[in-house]
Amino acid sequence: MVSMPAAASDWSVALTFDDLPKMGGGDCAQTEVLSVNQSILDTLDQFGAPAAAFVIPGTPCQGDGAASAASIARLWSSRGHAIGNHTDTHPDYNTLSIDAFLADAEAAHRALVPVLDSASQRERWFRPPLLHMGYNARRRIALDAWMFKRGYRLGVVTIDNQEWVFAAAYERMLKDGDAARAEAVADAYVAHIMESVAYHRALARRLFEREIPHVILLHANRLNADHLADVLDALKAGGAKFVRLETAAADPAYRSPDRYKGPRGLSWLLRWAEAKGVRAAPEPREPEWIAEAARRPPSP
Ligand SMILES: [Zn+2]
């Protein structure tokens, strides 16, 4: 007889995927864009896991027709997932003028409203690229005012992580035809996610003296097309229940003050920690060999 894990270890997490239709820097061919999205959607179905997908309508990493950003957004929406605005071309709010950045966010709004309307999605979600909210009060206030005008809620992230670095390393290994090293990257990826989860759950318990529902940031990429099931298996084994973004964000913890006005793209747990005067340990990083592989130019 196998004993059941203690109920006390149960916790909930909303899965969110950025950079749809596909994270840049890798293969953006039409067939690859379609295949990545189909595979991630099939895995989510298999686990009965709802997700929120943050779309970049103007990204160069898309195809025509069914592989266009709008079609991929409709596909996710038709499979029951929420769609969010991640700006039109993924600019960095730290380097662009306020007006240019908000015009880019507005362009994504125009592109995505028809998708949301046809799916009767009422919730409007916005998440800035790199989680950059504006490095001073003026920038932050301008972004908040634009979100308010357009009825957006912020797509807060509690479990930020280095998944995007693993994804870049993974695509590099595949391109080099090194399947064995690609599998090693995938194994290290799952281990890193679990380490990140443990870090952020512990920080949340310190801040709120209870377990809170979390929001994890992932991306639409080949790594998740091939290995999201491994991540979801590991999360489930650790007591995770998969919930919708609006369910997680309805928790009172998400109304905590965020007074951080700096250049970094921080998890909201670190922003809330700062407002509460709590000093957090450094976040888990990727192993150096992963970072090195992600940086390496393609083999000739
Ligand atoms: Zn992004």
d(CA 55, CA 73): 7
3-state secondary structure of 275: helix
Positions in the chain whose pLDDT score sits under 50: 1, 5-6
d(CA 250, CA 106): 26
198: Cβ contacts below 8 Å, ≥ 6 apart? none
pLDDT at 297: 74
Distance 18 CA to ligand 1 centre (A): 5
Distance 130 CA to ligand 1 centre (A): 6
Distance 36 CA to ligand 1 centre (A): 16
pLDDT at 298: 63
| Paired tokens of 262 | 């700096």
3-state secondary structure of 28: coil
pLDDT at 63: 94
Provide φ and ψ at 166, rounded to 5°.
-60, -40
Name the H helices within the chain: 30-47, 69-78, 98-118, 137-150, 163-175, 179-208, 222-237, 245-249, 268-275, 288-295
Using an 8 Å Cβ cutoff, are 47 and 232 in contact? yes
The pTM assigned to this predicted structure is 0.96
Using an 8 Å Cβ cutoff, are 16 and 54 in contact? yes
pLDDT at 111: 98
| Paired tokens of 150 | 């357009």
3-state secondary structure of 19: strand
Distance 154 CA to ligand 1 centre (A): 14
Distance 120 CA to ligand 1 centre (A): 25
Distance 2 CA to ligand 1 centre (A): 42
Using an 8 Å Cβ cutoff, are 85 and 50 in contact? no
